[in-house]
Amino acid sequence: MSEYHMLEYIRENPAALQRTLDNNEAAIQSIAERVQQGRLRRVVVLGIGSSYTASMMAAPAFRYHSAIPTHVLPATELGHYATRMVDEYTLVVAVSRSGEREWVVNALKESIERGAFGVAMTGVADSLMAQNAQLALVTGEGPEVTFPKTKSVICCAGLLMRMALALATPDDDEATERLQALRASPDAIERTIQAVEPALRALIPAIQPLEPVVVVGTGSNYGVALEATVKIQETAYVATHCDDTGDLLHGPLGPFDEKWLLIPLITAFDLQLSKQLLRLTGKFGAHRLSIVEPGLDLEGLSDSVLRVPEPVDRLLAGLFYLPPLQLLTYYWTLAKGLNPDAPSAMRDVLDAILPPGREEPELR
């Protein structure tokens, strides 16, 4: 079986995250100092597509630890709220791996014009967004010539989590402990990829005929569910829906039958809620593929189980649950005879979302 760049990049997740955290620590501290000095009173994080889903993976860490309120929005939504939300006391973090997405670049420029401190989080130091920012946080994934992004998502999510912890108050002991877990995460992600890849490949024949797919999670894993929906649809061309675990349980289950695939992302925190969902969807005949922490008893409620190799911090969980779904997307795409690096719709999509005369960095 041929290997494409996408698989190489998934396996590079740990090293890319390590470089990202190491290379941006001084800049993160400078942002934290602005907050401590009272110069910033609000955080707005903006992104589109996988940059937005990465932001949603980090959103729980901001909600729990940041000393100032944080809002995570699609960049296309900022115009509804800019007059009330963006001023000289606002930190605006615009996230875009390429740094070329027109809506994100424009949102950052408008925010700076309103007096905000504008930070670009991007993988490309000379991108249009970095050129317009007052501070650029450059992620460490390096070249990523595939259209579906993988290691850049981990890098952005991890760097945003680091920012959230840096914005905690000095007496927040939980933030200190969680920072240690974040710094140890690259090695743990490496172990996760090594553990789940063989098991996941073996599952592909059973799940390949199933459609549509529903991915659910809570907390940081809700952001993973969002990202899985983007990846599976744009790469494997399989209709996919995402939801919060509790929201899915409380309503939209009527169409479920034996053709559907449910993928719950289960942690110790949401185990009982997830069991309720597994029990009910099983009655409807849906196939259930659970991704779960070790040591949790699903009581035989899941048709297939994929276990991450070690317990995870509940606010950082997305960093460990995302690689299995990236691998699932990759092998599912191959099983359908498609090219995961360059989906057939790629050119049309890029033409629609890039500013006139601009190009994806690796396609310049």
Better-predicted residue by pLDDT, 187 or 361: 187
pLDDT at 51 over 80: yes
Residue 283 within a domain: yes
Give 16-28 as a DSSP string. Answer: HHHHHHHHTHHHH
Instruction: Give dist(CA 326, CA 148) in Å, integer.
Output: 10
Instruction: Give every CB contact of residue 351 below 8 A, 6+ residues apart in sequence.
Output: none
Average pLDDT, stretch 317-335?
A: 97
Structural tokens at position 151: 């290691």
72-79, Cβ contacts within 8 angstroms, sequence gap of 24 or more: 72/45, 73/44, 73/45, 73/46, 74/46, 74/47, 74/48, 75/46, 75/47, 75/48, 75/101, 75/103, 75/104, 75/106, 75/107, 76/48, 76/103, 78/44, 78/46, 78/107, 78/110, 78/111, 79/107
- Domain match, 40 and 153 both: yes
Which CATH number covers residue 54? 3.40.50.10490
- Tell me 359's DSSP state: -
pLDDT, tens digit (0-9, with 9 covering 90-100), for 263-278: 999 999 999 999 999 9
Tens of pLDDT along 212-225? 999 999 999 999 99
Q: Tell me, what's the pLDDT at 324? A: 98
Domain of residue 328, residue span: 197-340
Write out pLDDT tens, residues 14-34: 999 999 999 999 999 999 999
Domain boundary among 185, 212, 228: 185
Say yes or no: 313 and 271 in one domain: yes
What's the pTM?
Answer: 0.94
pLDDT in tens, 54-80: 999 999 999 999 999 999 999 999 999
Phi, psi of 53 (to 5 degrees): -65, -35
| 218 & 280 share domain | yes
Residue 252 pLDDT level (bands cut at 50, 70, 90): confident
Identify the residue with better confidence: 352 or 66: 66
Residues 140 and 65 reside in one and the same domain? yes
Instruction: Look at the block and give the residue holding tokens 């450059």.
Output: 138
Q: Is the pLDDT of residue 343 over 90?
A: no
CB proximity list for 164: less than 8 A, separation 6 or greater:
58, 61, 62, 64, 65, 66, 70
Does residue 192 form part of some domain?
Answer: no
Name which residue leads in pLDDT, 363 or 85: 85
Task: State the amino acid at position 351 in one-letter form.
Answer: D
Contact 342, 147 (CB under 8 A): yes
Calculate the average pLDDT of the chain. Answer: 94
Contacts of 292 (CB under 8 A, 6+ apart): 266, 267, 298, 302, 305, 306, 307, 308
134 and 279 belong to one structural domain? no
Residues 34 and 84 in one domain: yes
Q: Is the pLDDT at 353 greater than 80, yes or no?
A: no
What number is the average pLDDT over the span 179-205? 97
Both 229 and 332 in a single domain?
A: yes
Q: What is the pLDDT of residues 142-178, one digit of tens each?
A: 988 888 899 999 999 999 999 999 999 999 999 999 9
Predicted pLDDT of residue 359? 63
Q: Same structural domain for residues 34 and 139?
A: yes
Residues 228 and 321 in one domain: yes
SS3 49: coil
- Enclosing H/E stretch for 154: helix 151-166
Do 267 and 238 have their domain in common? yes
In a domain, 345, yes or no: no
Query: Which tokens belong to 41?
Result: 């009173």
Could you give the percent of the chain with pLDDT greater than 90? 88
**Residues 145 and 265 placed together within one structural domain of the fold:** no
Give the number of residues written for the chain. Answer: 364
Please name the residues in contact with 231: beta carbons below 8 A apart, sequence gap of 6 or more.
50, 148, 150, 325, 326, 329
What is the structure's pLDDT at 350?
Answer: 56
* Average confidence (pLDDT) over 254-269: 96
Confidence (pLDDT) at 250: 85
Q: Where is pLDDT greater, at 254 or 305?
A: 305
- If we measure between CA atoms, which residue out of 190, 144, 185 comes closest to residue 57? 185
> Residue 63 is which amino acid?
R
